[in-house]
Structure 1
Amino acid sequence: MNNNYDAIIIGFGKGGKTLAGAMERQGWKVAMIEQSDKMYGGTCINIACIPSKSLAYQSKYAAFMNPNSFEDQNAYYTQAISEKNELVSFLRSKNYHNLSDKEGITVFTGKASFISSHEIKVAMKEETVKLTAERIFINTGATPIVPNIQGIHASKYVYNSTTLMDLMELPKHLVIIGGGYIGLEFASMYANYGSDVTVLDGAEAFLKREDRDIAKEVLKTLEGKGIRYISGAQVQTVQDKKPDGTRVIYLRSGADQPETIEADAILLATGRKPNTEELNLAHAGVAVNEKGAIQVDEHLKTNIPHIWAIGDVKGGPQFTYVSLDDYRIIKDQLFGAGKRSTKDRVNIPYSVFIDPPLSRVGLSEDEAREQGYETKIAKMPVAASPRARLMKETQGVLKAVVDAKTDQILGCTLFCTESSEIINIVQIAMQTGQSYTFLRDQIFTHPTMSEVFNDLFGQME
């Protein structure tokens, strides 16, 4: 086998796999390295967006089922897990063959590490091979952070966001350590399925990135599902019981004595870190920052000119659609005009898939004022939407922030059903420099959630 390639891509994630296909179409010979046969397609398809959103979608129906017992809830949950597994397996296979079936792409399943800036060692099950290439692209993603908590490694009831979704039995009591977006998504999901959920958040402020009125509305909705949220909770110990179950010992901010809560599953939702530790980046001379993220310029090049980094491994927003835009930037350098860069990224929207989803683009009210803008604010309850009424999903609130001097939209927060879809309408209006009146006067179909913009932005007058 000739192991010399035009490009080596380490990691089968969104940006890398899309780039591999583009290279192959240009006649390049490409090596794609993925360390696990369970990760073809990357994090999103296998262990993050797709499986978690599949379970979140199914959980909405669980909340309406009015089960007679926990056994009924567990049966529905087990079915949802099985359906999630089938979906992931289908997509994983599809992604594998999308690349492996192409003549110019060779997929290597094994652990990659640098020998030098042009050489990669791949340790596979049967053999270890050395690959060389003119250009190398690192797309290894991120991995969950395991906090330094006594007993956490010894416990058999501790899970991360990946392993919890493989659990076939619904936890009766789930304790989530971490109150960020991932933790809250799982809290909402498992509460819908019927778990008794407690969130232990080390932070003092709930959803500190959001305006306080929005955070208050989200917390009220989550608590309405029966979720217990405890702020300022510093977890000290995880201690398994006999014959089964576990307990979490934590100290509240300002308290003298620790408290104990029992559980039959613990989810660690304490963040993710770039997956770089085993790449031997020093052998290639690639620089990383203090958090282990690969340092890149605005064109995603590392300090080594022929090595790039794509996606979560370089730090920054951990979104699949950002990784896809990384592909566009690199593709433009290789085969285009080379004009695209990370500086082109403004107003990136995001959605937190709690129930209902929380979505935002641009600045919050607090952020706008901190940056010195004179603002106009519009706010309305979701219950004012006919679409939300007919769907019987009236929880939530909508909020828009506009520059009072220019009438430009500075930001919008939507805590409502279907917000993950309609937030993109606001983003497009902002990207194209539209006044808020563009959405206020737009003709939308009826009855839809998008027509809430007529009313929301109509309040600016």
Structure 2
Amino acid sequence: MSHYEEYDVVVLGSGAPGKLLAWTLASQGRRTAVVERRYVGGSCPNIACLPSKNVIHGARVASYFRRGAEFGITNGDWKVDMAAVRDRKRKMVAGLVAFHLEKYRESGAELVMGDGRFIAPKTIEVTLNAGGTRTLRGQTVIIDTGSRARMDDTTGLAEARPLTHVEALELDQLPEHLIVLGGGYVGLELAQAFRRFGSRVTVVERNGALIHREDPDVTDAIEHLCRDEGIEVLTRTAVDRVEGQSGESVRLHTGHGGIEGTHLLVAGGRTPNTDGIGLEKVGVETDGKRHVKVDERLQTTAEGVWAVGDCAGSPYFTHIGEDDFRVVLANLTGGDRVTTGRQVPFCLFTDPELARVGLSEREARERGVGYRLAKVPMEAVFRAQTLSETRGFLKALIEEGGDRILGFTAFGAEAGEVMAVVQVAMLAGLPYTALRDAILTHPTMAEGLAGLFSSVPRG
């Protein structure tokens, strides 16, 4: 075997859980190295969560220009400059990368830029971006290789060179007609953003509804939002074949005919980055979806090797990756923490937002869990009226025969922030009456929780 360098900890990939583990363990005196192929800090600060929300906010500002008369502002000449939108995003990303590099310097963790793969147990060979190779061996190895946009095998799709979210966030020209293949989180957020910038947008979804796993009132509300904004929505529409080139002219053939546009965005889910990194050589097993197999402590099937984040099959959210960090850190430093039973909050960053934590009605019925339903429209929330943002609703599931909050859904302005209030109450085991009777500041969006929980039917 070639000469290798000894480390206490080697992390393959620099996403949220991996970098946090590296910074923390290095600060505690452990010799730590992180191998990263391209994006310092992983996808979230570079090409995913934060850049997309930056662009989405720009689209929201554009929507206010269009609504100017509603707020007593006389409309004048204005236009969207996509190059400036992109540059604002790039400036933010550059600042985030600089922040990450400083964290590496402060912590003492070594950042190794290159393509890493296992060549022996707990041993990673790195083909360096700058040329040459290094071989790193760790007493502990953590796999944090993340995921990428999934491209299915539809005839002609790959040849059409469609956009993923990565390329869409780098556009400096506005698509004339953007076709979005997939009605999930990424597809809906970017569909609304590009529509607000001025593109014609069509969303194509093979299932019977957008974000089809949610409750019918949620999926209906999201579809109405899209249609009201001028987005064409085609559900129950499977694509058989794709012709042309995205960025020029592209045509999707479906059972209902053809759909023609200038750009195609693929937003049909994600696949883990576990291929080509030598897992099979070192006894690290994967499941049927190519996620690394882990137990409730995120240990893999190979001794001394852990896996975190998307590649380990954790829910594909940065905040869950950050909790994976806490799970592994506890187990590496003498504690005992597991992934089972943890809350998984989520937020769809359309405008307005959709946020949920705990059980939906669909999930409660599937599990045979009895519940009482409380639901109020956003127009009943005074703060929403002051903002002229009354679309949506708040709803909560309360256990039958008790006061425990089982789940909460908000579709409306600042939904993600309001959800956090309910989530903390759920984590603390507070009865719904605690929020019902709380003195909440007037007028705020969270004040709507008092009205929501006051409407809970008697048990």
How does the TM-score come out when normalised to structure 2? 0.93
Q: 1:343 aligns with which of 336, 340, 345?
A: 340
State the secondary structure of the residue aligned to 2:26: helix
Q: Does 1:407 align with 2:409?
A: no
Structure 1 residue runs of 4 or more that deviate by more than 6 Å after TM superposition:
none
Q: Does 1:452 align with 2:448?
A: yes
Q: 2:314 touches 2:320 (CA, 8 Å); kept in 1?
A: no
What is residue 62 of structure 1 aligned with on the other side?
62
Q: Aligned partner of 2:329: which letter?
A: K
Q: Does 1:143 align with 2:148?
A: yes
| CA 103–191 in structure 1, closer or farther in 2 if over 3 Å, else same | closer
Pairing of 1:60-459 with structure 2 (within 5 A): 60-66=60-66, 72-75=78-81, 77-99=82-104, 101-102=105-106, 104-125=108-129, 126-156=131-161, 158-240=162-244, 244-252=248-256, 259-336=257-334, 338-345=335-342, 347-459=343-455
C-alpha distance in 1 between matches for 2:255 and 2:283: 43
C-alpha distance in 2 between matches for 1:244 and 1:352: 30
C-alpha distance in 1 between matches for 2:237 and 2:371: 36
Structure 1 residues without counterparts, runs of 5 or longer? 253-258
Deviations 1:344-396 (A, max 9, x none): 51x32110111101000111122223322332111111111111111111111
Report the alpha carbon displacement of residue 97 of structure 1 after superposing the two structures with TM: 2.7
Q: Aligned partner of 1:389: which letter?
A: Q
State the secondary structure of the residue aligned to 1:154: helix
Report the alpha carbon displacement of residue 155 of structure 1 after superposing the two structures with TM: 2.2
Deviations 1:114-165 (A, max 9, x none): 0111211000131011111111000010011111122222225x10011111
Report the alpha carbon displacement of residue 435 of structure 1 after superposing the two structures with TM: 1.1
Q: Aligned partner of 2:21: which letter?
A: L
Deviations 1:24-56 (A, max 9, x none): 1211101110011xx101111111110011111
Deviations 1:367-426 (A, max 9, x none): 223322332111111111111111111111111111121121111110001011110111
C-alpha distance in 2 between matches for 1:232 and 1:73: 35
C-alpha distance in 2 between matches for 1:66 and 1:207: 27
| CA 214–244 in structure 1, closer or farther in 2 if over 3 Å, else same | closer
Q: 1:34 touches 1:40 (CA, 8 Å); kept in 2?
A: yes
C-alpha distance in 2 between matches for 1:406 and 1:225: 41
Q: 2:209 touches 2:219 (CA, 8 Å); kept in 1?
A: no
- Give the alignment's Cα RMSD to 1 decimal: 2.0
Report the alpha carbon displacement of residue 66 of structure 1 after superposing the two structures with TM: 2.8
State the secondary structure of the residue aligned to 2:159: coil
C-alpha distance in 2 between matches for 1:96 and 1:380: 46
| CA 295–242 in structure 1, closer or farther in 2 if over 3 Å, else same | closer
Deviations 1:163-203 (A, max 9, x none): 11111111121100111122111112212212111111011
Deviations 1:202-259 (A, max 9, x none): 112332221112221221111100111111111122222799422222224xxxxxx1
Report the alpha carbon displacement of residue 440 of structure 1 after superposing the two structures with TM: 0.7
State the secondary structure of the residue aligned to 2:160: coil
C-alpha distance in 2 between matches for 1:214 and 1:142: 27
Report the alpha carbon displacement of residue 104 of structure 1 after superposing the two structures with TM: 3.5
Q: Aligned partner of 2:405: which letter?
A: I
| CA 290–19 in structure 1, closer or farther in 2 if over 3 Å, else same | same
What is residue 9 of structure 2 aligned with on the other side?
7
Q: 2:160 touches 2:244 (CA, 8 Å); kept in 1?
A: yes
Report the alpha carbon displacement of residue 2 of structure 1 after superposing the two structures with TM: 7.4
State the secondary structure of the residue aligned to 2:331: helix
What is residue 256 of structure 1 aligned with on the other side?
none
How does the TM-score come out when normalised to structure 1? 0.93
C-alpha distance in 1 between matches for 2:390 and 2:425: 25
Q: 1:7 touches 1:133 (CA, 8 Å); kept in 2?
A: yes
Residues 126-135 or 147-156, more deviating: 147-156
C-alpha distance in 1 between matches for 2:386 and 2:177: 33
Residues 47-56 or 359-368, more deviating: 359-368
Report the alpha carbon displacement of residue 73 of structure 1 after superposing the two structures with TM: 4.0
What is residue 28 of structure 1 aligned with on the other side?
30
Report the alpha carbon displacement of residue 96 of structure 1 after superposing the two structures with TM: 2.1
Q: 1:5 touches 1:30 (CA, 8 Å); kept in 2?
A: yes
C-alpha distance in 2 between matches for 1:447 and 1:406: 30
Q: Aligned partner of 1:8: which letter?
A: V
State the secondary structure of the residue aligned to 1:166: coil
Q: Aligned partner of 1:323: which letter?
A: G
What is residue 255 of structure 1 aligned with on the other side?
none
The alignment covers a number of residue pairs equal to: 447
Identity percentage over the alignment?
35
Q: 1:78 touches 1:170 (CA, 8 Å); kept in 2?
A: no
Q: Aligned partner of 1:154: which letter?
A: E
Residues 362-371 or 407-416, more deviating: 362-371
Report the alpha carbon displacement of residue 93 of structure 1 after superposing the two structures with TM: 2.1
State the secondary structure of the residue aligned to 2:52: helix
C-alpha distance in 1 between matches for 2:140 and 2:348: 36
Residues 294-303 or 397-406, more deviating: 397-406
Q: 2:4 touches 2:135 (CA, 8 Å); kept in 1?
A: no
State the secondary structure of the residue aligned to 2:430: coil
